[in-house]
Structure 1
Amino acid sequence: MSGTPEARGELLLGRQVEYTDVYTPQLLQPIPRQQGRAALGLESGALSFYGEDVWHAYELSWLDPGGRPRVAAARLVIPAFSPNLVESKSLKLYLNSVNNTVFRDETALQRTLADDISAAVGAAVELELLSCDDPNLAGIQAPGECIDGAAFSAPEGEPSASLLLRSTPESIVTQVLHSHLLRSLCPVTAQPDWATLVVKYTGPLLDPASLLQYVVAFRRHQEFHEQCVERIFCDIRAALSPEALSVHALYTRRGGLDICPWRSTEGGAAPRFRLNRQ
């Protein structure tokens, strides 16, 4: 194949690239979601969950008609049913490419970004511009009970639904649990990605020690953020058969971006908050 790496569909992750401040929507690189879902037995077009991927971009800048630099944060919401996710480094480079581009006003910038990213992922995305002083950007404590102090046994091998155990005697409960110990690896660069995992469910009581062991099993597991969350959702559902389940991973930022995938048995919008550590 000839042409640039971008034209050949090669990922920008793991490669040295030149940063550009010339508006270049072609930098955006889609990754088919079905690549990760096939391993989970999820069929294209027949998803058994709802979900969104909520991104925050903290290093967005552009020029107004007078040449004055403007800055903002952006909240981007990509629906889980989109055929593609967007590769994070390509999104960073794309956002950098508007740094010295003139936009008539914030609405013109917002429409341009939303249209370009929608074209890349294959579905309409939501994009909101936030002032750098917007209180919505303030971090909060993780909701629910922290399991990080539960009895611990180091896992062997990859994460598996078989690690997740029901407590005895069984009873139906509604719980919100979180762990700050989720660490997965980028499938391209093997660099670590850090997150707080929040699990909310109604179903048989889940043994917190088994959930902790399961979370730690991701420590050397290589998958994109969105794929990790779908794996966790599917494994907990297989282990508990819960009446309701939501899984939310709030990854810390890298390159001015954080990614917060959310998958749920219930419809509606993903939670719109960020944690103190993000």
Structure 2
Amino acid sequence: MNPNTPEHSQLGKASAYIDQYDASLLYPLPRAAKRREIGIAGSVPFLGADLWTAFELSWLNLRGKPQVALAHITVPCESTHIVESKSFKLYLNSFNNTRFDSADAVRERMRHDLSAAIWHGGPVQATAGVRLRLPELFDREPVHELDGLCIDRLDVECTQYQPAPELLRAALHEKPVDETLVSHLLKSNCLVTGQPDWGSVQIRYSGPQIDQAGLLQYIVSFRNHNEFHEQCVERMYMDILARCKPAKLMVYARYTRRGGLDINPWRSSHPQLPPANVRTARQ
């Protein structure tokens, strides 16, 4: 069986909106090809997950009354596949006129389907996490910006708009530091449609101090780059690791929503609790 490719997905194409439950709408995309581009073969050299938020989830109860919820989804980075985001939206729309006896039934159905998709026919080694937030708890959904020192204040000249890891520099022979740096100037483009993807990125590290001006220029260099969110974050992680040689590293990006979905990849060199899936003001 040939692997699914982005070009054969529903991205950029007219799509029928099916409102009866259909798990086959999920379109898995293999991670391996893009990882090979950045020097990853076999086991990944990081931990992490892709944190999704679905803002447009609805179904019918057994009496036909519509129900709504927010969904927080966690996709482990070890999975062999991601789910193409438009197919995920179409899949969620298929719940719209489908009856379920409870929110728990919806959550379990989503968990089962997503877990199968992200391993795409292989054994499920780690399930997708799904948590539903019902309307009575909507006011517990906070808005919070990424913690850390914002480097956007720097008055730098930017001339490169494709990933330029040579811009990354660190004080390799000086005393190591612990820092958390943040930028809101991340922009990349959809791999298939070329539509803009906007995000903020947090970089937490221990090791040689990273030159902040170079880091900001590097983040800006993704501006005309075509890759999915998950792929951009992994490229950043590998570039910073190679060029700046931190002892510990975490890269976490929060992208603005599209089609009622936001995707927030997180990659870390060391085991730690995942960051809270808390939206920023732009999301």
Normalising by the residue count of structure 2, what TM-score does the alignment of the two structures yield? 0.92
Q: Given that residues 145 and 177 in structure 1 are in contact (C-alpha distance below 8 angstroms), is that contact kept between their aligned partners in structure 2?
A: yes
DSSP-derived class of the 1:220 partner: coil
Alignment of 1:105 with 2:105, yes or no, is: no
How far apart are 1:187 and its partner, in Å? 0.8
DSSP-derived class of the 2:199 partner: strand
Alignment of 1:225 with 2:220, yes or no, is: no
1:57 is aligned to 54
How far apart are 1:240 and its partner, in Å? 1.4
Instruction: Report the residue type matching 1:102 in the other structure.
Output: R
Summarize the alignment of residues 4-15 of structure 1 with structure 2, pairs less than 5 Å apart.
10-15=8-13
Summarize the alignment of residues 3-152 of structure 1 with structure 2, pairs less than 5 Å apart.
10-44=8-42, 46-122=43-119, 123=124, 124-132=127-135, 133-152=137-156
Gapped regions of structure 2 (runs ≥ 5): none
Q: Distance in 1 between matches of 2:141 and 2:91?
A: 22
Normalising by the residue count of structure 1, what TM-score does the alignment of the two structures yield? 0.93
1:212 is aligned to 216
Q: Distance in 2 between matches of 1:189 and 1:216?
A: 20
Gapped regions of structure 1 (runs ≥ 5): 1-5
Instruction: Report the residue type matching 2:17 in the other structure.
Output: Y
Q: Given that residues 54 and 270 in structure 1 are in contact (C-alpha distance below 8 angstroms), is that contact kept between their aligned partners in structure 2?
A: no
Q: Given that residues 237 and 245 in structure 1 are in contact (C-alpha distance below 8 angstroms), is that contact kept between their aligned partners in structure 2?
A: yes
Q: Distance in 2 between matches of 1:74 and 1:135?
A: 14
Q: Distance in 2 between matches of 1:207 and 1:262?
A: 22
Give aligned pairs, total: 271
Identity of aligned residues (%): 44
Q: Given that residues 53 and 226 in structure 1 are in contact (C-alpha distance below 8 angstroms), is that contact kept between their aligned partners in structure 2?
A: yes
1:3 is aligned to none
In 2 relative to 1, CA 136–40 (structure 1 residues): closer, same or farther, beyond 3 Å?
A: farther
- Choose the corresponding residue for 1:274, options 269, 279, 283: 279
Q: Deviations over 1:253-277 (max 9, x none)?
A: 0010000000000123421122122
Q: Distance in 2 between matches of 1:91 and 1:262?
A: 20
How far apart are 1:141 and its partner, in Å? 2.0
Q: Deviations over 1:67-96 (max 9, x none)?
A: 110000000000000000000000000001
DSSP-derived class of the 1:139 partner: coil
In 2 relative to 1, CA 157–275 (structure 1 residues): closer, same or farther, beyond 3 Å?
A: closer
Q: Distance in 2 between matches of 1:131 and 1:140?
A: 20
Q: Distance in 2 between matches of 1:199 and 1:209?
A: 14
Q: Distance in 1 between matches of 2:22 and 2:134?
A: 24
Q: Distance in 2 between matches of 1:247 and 1:192?
A: 20
How far apart are 1:156 and its partner, in Å? 2.5
How far apart are 1:151 and its partner, in Å? 2.9
1:263 is aligned to 267
Q: Distance in 1 between matches of 2:39 and 2:247?
A: 21
Cα RMSD of the aligned pairs, angstroms, is 1.7
